[in-house]
C-alpha cells in the first residue's frame, strides 16, 4: 500500500526565485536533545509526536511519481505528502529507490542523463517539473547534503560564500557566512580560522560545513542523503541535534539506513521496499507505508514494515 499523509488544504504558493530573510539568531541556543543507540528490536527510542501538534501542512505533494533510468523504472507509484517543519525519514533496503526519490525533490535527477521522472511533484503549490520552473532556483530553495562530506578545496569562508555569490545574493557576505555557520552549529568552532582550508576540518565538521553551505542560499528544505554514514557516533549525534534544532525553520527529508537514527530524529517515516513480484529483472522500488515514526516502529500497518524494522531483512 502506498498512501499520502494527511490532506493539506492550504498550500503556500511562492515564487521559486524569491528569498526569505532568516532570523538573526537562528539555531544558536536551542538545547540539545538526547540521543540513544538502543537496539531496534527491543529498546528503540522512538521520538513521540507532540500530542498537541497542529495540522500538518504539506510542503511537497508527490503523485504517482516514477523514476526510470534508461527507460527501466527504479521506483514507481510514489504517492506521498511531506510536511513542513518536520523531519521525514526515508528508510528501506538498499536499491529500493530512496535516494532516487529524494533526488526528485530538488530536480537533482535532471543531472543524470538516463533518468526520467513522471508523475507530479508539487512544492508549495507549484509543479516542480513545470516547463517554466528553473531547476537552479529549485536547488537554491531545496538544498541537499550528501553521504560523504564534499567541501570545495577552498577556505571555510569561501565554501559558504560561493553559493550566495553565484546566485547574486544581496547583503553583507560576512554576515551571510556567519549566519550559515551559526545555523549549522559550527561558528564557535571555526570563527577564528575562516580563511583556512576546509580540508583541515574533521569529517563531522566538514559535514556540518556542507550543511552550512546548503543553508547559505536560504533554502526552506534540506534533503539529506545518508548524511551520517561516514561519521563517527559523536559527529552523528551533533548532526542529529542540529537537524532537530533547525526543523522549526526548515523542512528536512533524510534517507537513512540507520533505523535508530530514523527513530530518534524523524516525525514521519516512509518505508520503501523492492517489489520483486514481476521477477528479478523487473525489480522496482515502491513506497510500502508512510506513517508517524512512532507508529512505524511500534505498530506498523504493513507486515513488511514490521519485518524490516525488526531486522528480519534488509
Ligand atoms: P536506495 O537509495 O534505496 O539504495 P537508489 O535510489 O540508489 O536506491 O537506487 C534504486 C535503483 O535505481 C537501483 O536499482 C539502482 O541500481 C538504480 N540506480 C540508481 N541510480 C542510478 C543511476 N544513476 N543510473 C542507473 N541506475 C541507477
For residue range 187-197, list pLDDT tens digits in order. Answer: 999 999 999 99
Residue-wise DSSP of 68-128: EETTEEEEEEEEEEEETT-EEEEE-STTSSHHHHHHHTTTGGGGSTTEEEEEEEEETTEET
For residue range 49-85, list pLDDT tens digits in order. Answer: 555 566 889 999 999 999 999 999 999 999 999 999 9
The predicted model gives 129-133 an average pLDDT of 94
Residue partners of 241: CB distance under 8 A and separation at least 6 = 32, 33, 35, 185
Q: How confident is the model at residue 47 (pLDDT cuts 50, 70, 90)?
A: low
For residue 99 and ligand 1, the question of a CB distance below 6 A is answered with: yes
The C-alpha angle 270, 117, 90, rounded to 5 degrees, equals 15
For residue range 199-233, list pLDDT tens digits in order. Answer: 999 999 999 999 999 999 999 999 999 999 999 99
For residue 69 and ligand 1, the question of a CB distance below 6 A is answered with: yes
For residue range 257-311, list pLDDT tens digits in order. Answer: 999 999 999 999 999 999 999 999 999 999 999 999 999 999 999 999 999 999 9
Q: How confident is the model at residue 13 (pLDDT cuts 50, 70, 90)?
A: very low
Q: Rounded to 5 degrees, what are φ and ψ at 155?
A: -70, 165
Residue partners of 25: CB distance under 8 A and separation at least 6 = 182
Q: Which atom of ligand 1 is nearest to the CA of 96?
A: 3
Q: How confident is the model at residue 133 (pLDDT cuts 50, 70, 90)?
A: very high
6 against 175, higher pLDDT: 175
Identify the pLDDT of residue 314.
Answer: 79
For residue 94 and ligand 1, the question of a CB distance below 6 A is answered with: yes
Cell of 140: 537554491
Q: 111 C-alpha vs ligand 1 centroid, how far in Å?
A: 14
For residue 273 and ligand 1, the question of a CB distance below 6 A is answered with: no
Q: Which atom of ligand 1 is nearest to the CA of 225?
A: 2
Least Cα distance to 115 among 98, 132, 103, 130 occurs for 103
For residue range 231-253, list pLDDT tens digits in order. Answer: 999 999 999 999 999 999 999 99
For residue 97 and ligand 1, the question of a CB distance below 6 A is answered with: yes
CB 64 within 8 A of CB 121: no
Tell me which residue has its CA closest to atom 21 in ligand 1: 69
Identify the pLDDT of residue 55.
Answer: 81
For residue 98 and ligand 1, the question of a CB distance below 6 A is answered with: yes
Tell me which residue has its CA closest to atom 14 in ligand 1: 95
**Hey, how many other C-beta atoms are within 10 angstroms of the C-beta on 197?**
15
pTM, full prediction = 0.85
Mutate to test the pocket of ligand 1, among 66, 74, 98, 229 (most ligand atoms within 8 A of CB): 74
The C-alpha angle 279, 281, 286, rounded to 5 degrees, equals 70
For residue 91 and ligand 1, the question of a CB distance below 6 A is answered with: no
Q: 101 C-alpha vs ligand 1 centroid, how far in Å?
A: 10
Q: How confident is the model at residue 35 (pLDDT cuts 50, 70, 90)?
A: very low
**Hey, how many other C-beta atoms are within 10 angstroms of the C-beta on 140?**
23
Q: How confident is the model at residue 40 (pLDDT cuts 50, 70, 90)?
A: very low
Mutate to test the pocket of ligand 1, among 78, 97, 114 (most ligand atoms within 8 A of CB): 97
Amino acid at each position: 500500500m502506498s498512501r499520502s499523509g494527511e490532506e493539506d488544504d492550504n498550500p503556500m504558493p511562492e515564487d521559486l526565485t524569491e528569498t526569505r530573510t532568516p532570523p538573526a539568531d537562528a539555531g544558536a541556543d536551542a538545547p540539545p536533545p538526547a540521543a540513544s543507540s538502543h537496539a531496534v528490536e527491543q529498546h528503540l527510542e522512538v521520538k513521540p509526536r507532540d500530542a498537541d501538534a497542529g495540522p500538518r501542512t504539506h510542503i511537497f505533494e508527490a503523485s504517482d511519481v516514477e523514476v526510470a533510468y534508461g527507460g527501466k523504472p527504479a521506483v514507481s507509484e510514489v504517492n506521498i505528502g511531506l510536511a513542513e517543519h518536520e523531519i521525514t525519514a526515508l528508510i528501506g533496503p538498499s536499491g529500493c529507490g530512496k535516494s532516487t526519490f529524494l533526488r526528485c525533490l530538488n530536480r537533482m535527477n535532471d543531472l543524470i542523463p538516463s533518468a526520467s521522472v513522471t508523475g507530479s511533484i508539487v512544492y508549495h503549490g507549484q509543479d516542480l517539473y513545470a516547463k517554466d520552473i528553473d531547476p537552479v532556483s529549485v536547488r537554491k530553495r531545496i538544498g541537499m547534503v550528501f553521504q560523504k562530506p564534499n567541501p570545495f578545496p577552498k577556505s571555510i569562508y569561501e565554501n559558504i560564500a560561493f553559493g550566495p555569490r553565484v546566485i547574486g545574493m544581496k547583503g553583507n557576505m560576512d554576515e551571510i557566512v556567519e549566519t550559515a555557520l551559526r545555523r549549522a552549529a559550527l561558528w564557535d568552532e571555526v570563527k577564528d580560522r575562516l580563511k583556512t582550508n576546509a580540508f583541515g576540518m574533521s569529517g563531522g565538521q566538514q559535514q556540518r560545513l556542507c550543511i552550512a553551505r546548503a543553508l547559505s542560499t536560504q533554502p526552506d528544505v534540506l534533503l539529506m542523503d545518508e548524511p551520517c554514514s561516514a561519521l563517527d557516533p559523536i559527529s552523528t549525534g551533533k548532526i542529529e541535534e542540529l537537524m532537530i534544532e533547525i526543523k522549526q525553520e526548515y523542512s528536512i527529508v533524510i534517507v537513512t539506513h540507520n533505523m535508530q537514527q530514523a527513530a530518534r530524529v524523524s516525525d514521519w517515516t516512509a518505508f520503501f521496499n523492492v517489489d520483486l513480484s514481476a521477477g528479478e529483472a523487473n525489480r522496482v522500488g515502491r513506497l510500502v507505508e508512510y506513517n508517524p515514526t512512532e507508529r512505524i516502529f511500534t505498530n506498523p500497518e504493513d507486515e513488511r514494515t514490521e519485518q524490516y524494522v525488526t531486522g528480519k531483512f534488509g
